[in-house]
Amino acid sequence: MASQVPLLTLAKFLVLIGGIVLLVGGILQAVDVRAPMDFGTNLARLGSFTGIVVGVLVGILALVGSREVVNPAWSLILLILGLFVGSLGGILVFIGGLIGLVAHYVKT
């Protein structure tokens, strides 16, 4: 159990930093949206809006889940969410979830 503490601390830190990066990145993307009053159909803008919403939601879930990395279910959820997003913040969340799972199941 004593060797799990540094790994779980590292996992919490990585998930927390990844969540902050996702949240800040989503907010900065939302501020940079061009021509919000353009009501024409623009699939690229719709994809950008979806990416903003997903990034912010996963960032919030990562911030909440950073306290629960000790639980293997939360670690698995964070692992899947990090894989789903795929940006720098998503990679940090993925690695944090993976370390949380490894720390829980591997006894050293």
pTM: 0.81
CA distance 19 to 4: 22
Q: Which two tokens stand for residue 98?
A: 């993976």
Confidence of residue 37 (pLDDT cuts 50, 70, 90): low
Q: What is the mean pLDDT of residues 96-101?
A: 92
Q: State the pLDDT at residue 33.
A: 58
CA distance 75 to 24: 22
Q: What is the mean pLDDT of residues 54-70?
A: 90
